[in-house]
Amino acid sequence: MAGAEYKREAFWSETFVVSEAQVRNWLDGFDIISFTEHRSEGKSVDGVPHQWHVFSVVARKKSMMKSEEKTDPYRPK
């Protein structure tokens, strides 16, 4: 996540910046098994205090048909 004044190019041009809401929206159609936000504080490359938020997600795609659930090898018994 980034604040309103976040300037991506000032930190890392390769950084992919999204909000928690965007991540959760992308996971529509998945059963979320675990969703964790890791927060870290430090300084940017130019010495400015900064916070980083990294999301770790474990999810499984929802079944389209009930019959698939019976044959899903990853479904707990």
Q: What is the mean pLDDT of residues 57-73?
A: 73
What's the domain range around 20? 8-62
Is the distance from CB of 33 to CB of 59 less than 8 angstroms?
A: yes
Q: How many domains does the chain have?
A: 1
Is the distance from CB of 37 to CB of 17 less than 8 angstroms?
A: no
Q: In this predicted model, what pLDDT tens digit does every residue of 24-57 receive, in sequence order?
A: 999 999 999 999 999 999 887 788 898 888 899 9
Beta pairing partners, 58:
34
17 within some domain: yes
Does this model's pTM top 0.75? My answer is: no
Distance CA 28, CA 10 (A): 32
26 within some domain: yes
3-state secondary structure of 24: helix
